Amino acid sequence: MTTPFAQAADDGVRALRGVRIYPAPDAPPIDDGVVLVRDGRIVGVGARSAVSKEIPPLASACDGGVVVAGFQNSHVHLNGAAFAKAKTAPAATLEAGLTALLTRYGFTTAFDIASDRDNTLALRARVNQGELKGPRLLTAGLPLFPPQGLPAYLDHFDPAFLAKLPQPATVASALATVRQNLDAGAEGTKLFLVTPQRDRPPKRIAADIAEAAVAETHRRGHLAFAHPTDLDGVRAALRAQVDILAHPPLGVPGPWPTELMDALRAAGVYMVPTLKLLRYELVKEQVPAPQADAVLQDSVREVGRFAAAGGKLLFGTDVDYMEDSDPTEEYELLAQAGLRPMQILASLTTVPAERWKETARRGQLKPGLEADLVVLDGDPAVSVKHFAKVKCTVRGGRLIWAAAEAPAR
C-alpha cells in the first residue's frame, strides 16, 4: 500500500500502533503496522518500520492490538431507560448507556431504526456537541405500522411511547409521517410491513401506503428499511422497492424460495441477519431448547445461502429491543452460516459505507478517510469471537472507549 508517511513530520500527527492492521476486508494485513492520524483523519497506514521518527501515540492504552476500521451497527434502538429524557438527563447517564450498548463493542456508527424520534435527536445533538462520548448516530425516527397494528411484542413498552407510534390508514397520513421524520433530521424510513398480533392474524401495511412512503423517502434522498416478518412481507418489501430488510424472515422454515432470494439480490436489497434475535425470541416464548436450536439453525442456513449467492449483509443486532448487547453470538452464528471473518468485517465496515454512499469518508483504513478505528484484543481471522473483544474505540481520531479505562465488569 502506498502510504504518505511524509505526513509524520507534522506536529499534529499521532500514531496508533498495531500488532496487525487490516486496512480493508479485501486488502492484505500489515503486521507490526501503524495508523497515523491528524485532525480526525487518517494520514498514513503502513509498516511501522517505514516511519522514520518517533511519533506520539494517539492513546497509549490502545497500542499493541489488531486495528480495523470502525464498526457500524445497522440495526439498533435507543428506547431504553438509559436514554430517557435525553435533552436534560445527566451526560454521564447517557454516555454509560451508549457505552453499554455500543461503544465498548467497537461501534463508531449506529443506525437507530425505531425510537422516540425527538428524544433520539436530542441524544444525538449532545453527542455531536461533545457533551458525551458516543458513536455517530443515525435514525429512522418514528416507524410506520399497519392501522391498529402495533405488534404484540411491544406490549411491555410505555403506553405513552406506544401512543406516539404512527399507524397510518391512508397514503396522505403515511406521507405526513415520512416528511415529519425527515424534516426533523431523520436519515431514513422504517416500515413494519407485517406485525404479529395476539390470537389474531397478523396486520399488514397496504401496498399503496408502503409504496408511497418508500417513494417519498427516495425522493428525499434517503433509504427505507422494512420489517418483513414472513415471506409475504418480503414480497411486499420488494413491491415497495425497500432498500434494506431489517431482518430476514426469521423462523420461517427453509428453504426460502430461491426465486424470492434471487429477486432480492437483483433489486439490490440488503439484509440485516439479526440471527441472535431469533434465539432471544424463542427463549422468551419458552420453546424447548432442542426445537429452538433446530429453528435457529434453519434460519442460519438460509442466511448463509443468501450470502453465498451474492446477497449483501449489513451487521446489526437489534439491541435495546434485545436486552443482551454482547454481539459475540451474532458473530458466531454468521460464521456458522458460512461467512468468513473478512466477510463479517465487510458487513461491519465496507458494506455499510457502500450502502450509505460513504466510501469516500469511512469503512477502511485509508489516508483521507475519517479516523474511525477499532482496536481488538485478538485477531478475528483466528476466532470471530475477537470481533467483540474490543480494546479501544476511536471516532474521528478521538478515543471514545478503552477497556483499560473501563470499570471492571
pLDDT (0 to 100) of residue 206: 98
On the CB side of 355, how many CA atoms lie within 13 Å of its CA? 30
Query: Left (φ > 0), alpha (ψ -120 to 50) or beta: where does 81 sit?
Result: alpha
DSSP 187-218: -EEEEE-EEEETTEEEEE--HHHHHHHHHHHH
pLDDT, position 406: 76
Mean pLDDT, the chain, whole residue set: 95
Evaluate whether 325 touches 101 at the Cβ level (below 8 Å).
Answer: yes
In the chain, residues under CATH classification 2.30.40.10 are 5-69+365-405
Instruction: State the pLDDT at residue 51.
Output: 85
Where do we find the cell 436486552?
Answer: 323
Instruction: Tell me the pTM.
Output: 0.96
Residue located via cell numbers 457505552: 99
The pLDDT tens digits for 248-293 are 999 999 999 999 999 999 999 999 999 999 999 999 999 999 999 9
The percent of residues in the chain predicted with pLDDT above 70, rounded, is 97
- Per-residue pLDDT, 405: 80
CATH 3.20.20.140 in the chain: give the residue spans: 71-355
Q: pLDDT confidence of 2, banded at 50, 70, 90?
A: very low
Torsion of CA 226, 230, 235, 236, to 10 degrees: -50
pLDDT of residue 8: 55
* pLDDT band at residue 5 using 50, 70 and 90 as cut-offs: low
Low-confidence winner among 2-11, 42-51, 103-112, 368-377 (lowest mean pLDDT): 2-11
- Split at pLDDT 50, 70, 90, the class of 409 is low
Structure-model confidence comparison of residues 50 and 202, the more confident one: 202
Q: How confident is the model at residue 3 (pLDDT cuts 50, 70, 90)?
A: very low
Place 1 in a pLDDT band, splitting at 50, 70 and 90.
very low
Q: What radius of gyration, in Å, describes the C-alpha atoms of the chain?
A: 21
Give domain 71-355's CATH superfamily: Metal-dependent hydrolases (3.20.20.140)
Q: What is the pLDDT of residues 112-138, one digit of tens each?
A: 999 999 999 999 999 999 999 999 999
| Of the options 2.30.40.10, 3.90.1150.10, 1.10.1740.10, 3.40.630.10, the CATH number for the domain spanning 5-69+365-405 | 2.30.40.10
Apex 366 CA angle, 363 and 368, nearest 5 = 100
The arithmetic mean of pLDDT across residues 303-311, rounded, is 97
56 preceded by cis ω (within 30°)? no
Q: What number of other Cβ atoms are within 10 A of residue 287's Cβ? A: 17
DSSP 3-state assignment of 60? helix
Cα separations (Å) of 4 from 7, 213, 249, 360? 6, 46, 47, 18
Residue 166: name the closest of 189, 184, 142, 185 by CA. 142
Reported as a pLDDT band with limits 50, 70 and 90, residue 11 is confident
